[in-house]
């Protein structure tokens, strides 16, 4: 029996429901690499600049969009899209969805940090629930335009990979059941999910969509840059 999307929405949001959030933690080690791209030295953790039409961050073997799709600072992330829709939109730009390894490598950055910017959670650094001072969490901010939390990520790296909106990846949570994987948590999720190693996928079939779920695109590195 397939779980209704409303039940999945509660689970992904971190609200008690029939499918509580599952967390799998693993470590990805990022390698620092530099190459020449469009006559600019681009290193892991360095972007083409805010005035670039399509800013990307370079790592060994791949490039990742600096912001959630449509990859423009100040634009709201595209949300409520299915896995197939996200795949198509990346393909139209000559890109693809990030693999889980690529996604986590970019999120952790060259220093391999669980929140991108550091080891410890810093309130207000990313669009995640904020402590209310009484042991609880404030969840009233909603999705924000890309780049609103400009320091949410490694220095000069990808922004908003932790919090704001979940992001589809190419990965399988359970290939036999057709369950896909989303990463990074959202503005609504506690820190067990809104972090570099937070992932969810239980019963996330390809046609699932939710206004807490967006995506960003990756592409293979140019020849000779690895």
Closest-CA residue to 142 (of 128, 152, 131): 128
How many percent of the chain have pLDDT more than 70?
A: 76
Please state, in angstroms and rounded to a whole number, the distance separating the CA atoms of residues 193 and 90: 25
Q: To 5 degrees, how large is the angle CA 190–CA 182–CA 204?
A: 110
Peptide bond into 70 cis (omega under 30): yes
In a domain, 154, yes or no: yes
Whether residue 49 is predicted with pLDDT greater than 60 in this model: the reply is no
Please indicate, yes or no, if residue 23 is contained in any of the structural domains. Answer: yes
In angstroms, the CA 187 to CA 68 distance is 14
> Is 226 part of any domain?
no
Spatial CB neighbours of 76, under 8 Å, sequence gap ≥ 6: 143, 144, 145, 146
Residue 109 lies in a domain: yes
Tell me which residue range forms the domain holding 16.
Answer: 1-221
Q: What is the CATH number of the domain that holds 154?
A: 3.90.1580
Summarised one tens digit per residue, pLDDT across range 101-119 is 999 999 999 999 999 999 9
State pLDDT tens for residues 65-108. 999 999 999 999 999 999 999 999 999 999 999 999 999 999 99
The overall pTM is greater than 0.85? no
Q: What is the pLDDT, as a whole number, of residue 150?
A: 96
H/E stretch holding 80 reads none
pLDDT band, very low/low/confident/very high, at 130 (cuts 50, 70, 90) = confident
pLDDT top residue among 156 and 12: 156
Does pLDDT of 215 surpass 50? yes
> What is the chain's mean pLDDT, rounded?
82
Please give the pLDDT value at position 70.
Answer: 98
Is residue 1's pLDDT more than 60? no
The structural domain count of the chain equals 1
- Residue 131's pLDDT is 83
DSSP H helices in 62-186: 83-92, 100-108
Question: What pLDDT was estimated at residue 132?
Answer: 84
pLDDT at 88: 99
Rg of the chain on CA atoms, in Å: 17
Look at residue 40 and tell me if it is in a domain: yes
Residue 7 lies in a domain: yes
Query: pLDDT band at residue 22, thresholds of 50, 70 and 90?
Result: very low
Residue 215 β-bridge partners: 168
138-185 pLDDT, tens digit per residue, is 888 899 999 999 999 999 999 999 999 999 999 999 999 999 999 999
């Amino acid at each position: 029996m397939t779980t209704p999307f409303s039940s999945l929405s509660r689970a992904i949001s971190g609200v008690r429901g029939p499918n509580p959030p599952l967390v799998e933690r693993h470590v990805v080690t990022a390698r620092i690499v530099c190459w020449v791209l469009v006559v600019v030295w681009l290193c892991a953790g360095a972007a083409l600049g805010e005035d670039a039409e399509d800013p990307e961050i370079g790592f060994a073997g791949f490039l990742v969009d600096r912001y959630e799709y449509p990859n423009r600072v100040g634009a709201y992330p595209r949300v409520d899209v299915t896995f197939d829709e996200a795949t198509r939109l990346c393909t139209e730009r000559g890109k693809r969805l990030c693999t889980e390894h690529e996604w986590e490598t970019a999120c952790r950055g060259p220093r391999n940090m669980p929140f991108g910017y550091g080891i410890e959670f810093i309130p207000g650094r990313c669009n995640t629930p904020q402590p209310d001072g009484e042991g609880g969490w404030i969840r009233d901010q909603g999705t924000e335009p890309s780049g609103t939390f400009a320091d949410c990520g490694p220095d000069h790296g990808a922004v908003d990979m932790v919090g704001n909106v979940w992001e589809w990846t190419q990965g399988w949570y359970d290939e036999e059941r057709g369950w896909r994987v989303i990463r990074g948590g959202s503005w609504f999720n506690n820190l067990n999910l809104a972090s570099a190693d937070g992932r969810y996928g239980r019963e996330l079939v390809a046609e699932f969509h939710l206004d807490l779920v967006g995506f960003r695109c990756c592409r293979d590195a140019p020849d000779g840059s690895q």
